[in-house]
Copies of this chain bind each other. A is one copy, B any other.
Amino acid sequence: MPESTLEFGFTLKARDGMARRGTLTTAWGKVETPVFMPVGTAATVKGMMPESLASTGASIILANTYHLMLRPGAERVARLGGVRKMMGWDGPLLTDSGGFQVMSLGPLRKLDEDGVTFKSHLDGSQHRLTPERSTEIQYLLDATITMAFDECTPFPATKSVAAESMALSMRWAKRSRVAYQPRTGYGQFGIVQGSIFSDLRAESVAALEDIDFEGYAVGGLAVGEGQEAMFETLEATTPLMEDRKPRYLMGVGKPSDLVGGVARGIDMFDCVLPTRSGRTGQGFTRRGPVNLKNARHAEDPRPLDEACNCPVCTRFSRAYIHHLFKAEEVLSLMLLSWHNIYYYQDLMREMQRAIDAGRFVDFEASFHAMQAQGDIDPL
């Protein structure tokens, strides 16, 4: 693949309270933050053509180490030129470390100091991930941003369990950093752990900054602790994180999670929610989520969100999308995934503008007021 001469970096351009506006520069293009990264688990954002994805304003996407190492295999992806080339995505790509998915396997995995042995959910075959192998796989996938291999601490966890788990993740972070092969315009992020315990989070931040990554993620949240505890943990964590580096809240979230995350100093997010909801008939709107399968939409000629300029809302009615879901047509999920990703990108654009203009508090208030209105009345 062609070499890039763009250096990896993060420029903070504006702030408004704790909220930040920045530009992340990578080998494969610039990313305006705060940013939402759509998830392309198996090297495809489900139901989206890469250019449709780009047309929503998505500027960086995520792919999953766990899924791709099992199928089609990291070495195979490398021979095909990496995930970006294979899937036709021109922008930067972030891969997770596989840690989160492997931990979710429960009894199918066994953890030791060196790493994790687990059985594939596809065929039961045995695999092993270590900080070194996870980092190597992400190199083979050609990840623009590589994540350190960590243990995602289960929730709830006692403080001593959380402390042990965090300490292991910090040892693994060090090994991940050693295993990382730097390339121009590429970077590696460490992951802050410590469950909901602020002193553990502080300890984790310090340990990672000692290692010195290109950016830092907050991990182990959105795992059942609830929005309030998540926000409290962020409030205890982000003020301790290096100001000049990007901050990424992993696996989050609902629109209100993104707004609250930005308010608490987060720059980057990823979540399967826009596409997963799109497949089940849930559309996100400025007035909250709407279930398009509901019979009330069967003859509604209005768009899903009248304020939305996406290719779905400008051309298709709620009635048509409802029909497509009833008929189990694949276009149903294509349209709703497209709209939902566009809505998420719109939300990020609105937050960027609000921070630029120093009116993030007003934005937050009007966002919540709109969401609280609920869906438009039936005709």
A→B interface (CB under 8 Å): 42-44, 46-49, 67, 71-72, 76, 79-81, 86-88, 298-299, 301, 311, 315-317, 319-320, 323-324, 326-327, 329-331, 333-334
Contact = CB atoms under 8 A, between A and B. Distances in A.
A329 B44 contact: yes
Contact of A298 (B76, B320, B323, B327): B76
Contacts of A47: 330-331, 334
A281 B337 CA distance: 23
A71 B49 CA distance: 28
Given A43-B323, A71-B326, A317 B86 contact: yes
A114 to B, nearest CB: 30
Please tell me how many copies of the chain the complex holds.
2
B46 A299 contact: no
A301 B298 CA distance: 45
Contacts of A333: 330
B324 A44 contact: yes
B79 A320 contact: no
Given A86-B319, A301-B80, A320-B86, A330 B330 contact: yes
A317 B79 CA distance: 12
Given A49-B311, A80-B301, 17 more contacts: A42-B323, A42-B327, A44-B324, A44-B327, A44-B329, A46-B329, A46-B330, A47-B334, A49-B331, A71-B327, A76-B298, A80-B299, A80-B320, A81-B301, A88-B315, A88-B316, A88-B320
With most chain B CB atoms within 10 A of its CB, the pick from A47, A311, A331 is: A331
